[in-house]
Amino acid sequence: MDFIDDPKLGHTKNRLPVMLVPVIMLAAVVLGIIATKIYVNSVMDHHNEDSGIQ
């Protein structure tokens, strides 16, 4: 458990700023929601064309 008490251990170069991590996580969630909506709309439109329902 020495690594918990020793903050010098680990990456020191090219680290993300701590404030940027939640922003990136939120952006990933929002992009996932948008991609899901686009996919669902394309599938529903394709299904409506096949079944003839408008």
Domain residue ranges in the chain:
16-54
In this prediction the pTM is 0.57
Distance CA 36, CA 39 (A): 5
Over 80: is that where the pLDDT of 6 sits?
A: no
For the residues 7-27, what does the mean pLDDT come to?
A: 76
Distance CA 16, CA 3 (A): 20
Q: For residues 24 and 16, is the Cβ–Cβ distance under 8 A? A: yes
Counted residue by residue, the chain has a size of: 54
Q: For residues 33 and 39, is the Cβ–Cβ distance under 8 A? A: no
**What are the pLDDT digits (tens) for 18-52?**
888 899 999 999 999 999 999 999 988 877 776 65
Over 70: is that where the pLDDT of 3 sits?
A: no
